[in-house]
């Protein structure tokens, strides 16, 4: 691996020289001799890789270097790989082929699995908590007309699942950041359920 190509890529990118940046990046990716080298680089550089405003890293780096390493770890129930796939889920959502390879996994699903793999890890707990709250916030954004599940109104069965997720927030939220939100949410959910049961 020739790290100088990566340094060049970063310099060209900062100067806004897209063609030169792409060329340096191609040279860098081609300079890896084996998977072991890729693996070492990925784990050393992942925490330093910059994401754009859409929370994505450069697609060539993701698709050709990072993703194969993380996918392999994820399939072997490796905690770090699973957590990082969650953090880089916007890259997965942008690449239909990769998303399909991972059975259309979601950010919430990845953080869920991370938390199951290491329940004592605070970063995984907080990322799962935040993703669950975002999911619940989306489900109530059309209130008072109803509670959503995906893009449609939730059914009675789906309300059960939503209720379980709301309870889970309370378990995950050791800092009690979302207690008030969940109190309001559960009230809306039971109002909505009462409407469905009429």
Quick check: 28 and 5 in contact, CB under 8 A?
yes
pLDDT higher at 50 or 190:
190
- Phi-psi domain of 103 (left: phi exceeds 0; alpha: psi -120 through 50; beta: other): left
* pLDDT, mean of residues 133-143: 94
Q: Which of 10, 31, 29 is nearest to 21 (CA)?
A: 10
Domain ranges across the chain: 1-31, 35-118, 121-198
Tens of pLDDT, residues 69-124: 999 999 999 999 999 999 999 999 999 999 999 999 999 999 999 999 999 999 99
Tell me the per-residue pLDDT of 158-178, one tens digit each, with 9 for 90 and over: 999 999 999 999 999 999 999
pLDDT at 151: 87
Please report which confidence band the pLDDT of residue 7 belongs to, taking 50, 70 and 90 as the band edges.
Answer: very high
Evaluate whether 24 touches 8 at the Cβ level (below 8 Å): yes
Cα separation, 102 vs 113, whole angstroms: 13
pTM: 0.86
Q: Give the pLDDT score at 59.
A: 87
| The predicted structure's pLDDT at residue 189 | 95
> Dihedrals φ, ψ of 155, to 5°?
-85, 175
């Amino acid at each position: 691996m020739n790290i100088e190509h990566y340094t060049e890529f970063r310099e060209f990118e900062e100067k806004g020289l897209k063609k030169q940046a792409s060329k340096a990046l191609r040279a860098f990716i081609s300079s890896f001799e084996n998977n072991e080298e890729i693996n070492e680089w990925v784990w050393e550089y992942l925490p330093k890789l910059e994401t754009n405003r859409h929370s994505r890293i450069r697609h060539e780096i993701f698709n050709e270097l990072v993703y194969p390493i993380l996918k392999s770890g994820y399939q072997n129930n490796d905690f770090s790989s699973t957590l990082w796939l969650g953090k880089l889920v916007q890259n997965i959502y942008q690449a239909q082929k990769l998303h399909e390879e991972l059975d259309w996994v979601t950010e919430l699903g990845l953080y869920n699995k991370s938390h199951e793999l290491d329940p004592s890890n605070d970063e995984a707990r907080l990322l799962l908590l935040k993703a669950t709250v975002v999911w619940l916030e989306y489900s109530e954004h059309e209130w008072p007309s109803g509670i959503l599940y995906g893009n449609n109104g939730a059914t009675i069965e789906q309300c059960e699942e939503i209720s379980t997720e709301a309870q889970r927030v309370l378990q995950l939220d050791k800092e009690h950041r979302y207690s008030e939100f969940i109190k309001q949410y559960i009230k809306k959910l039971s109002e909505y359920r009462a409407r469905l049961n009429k």
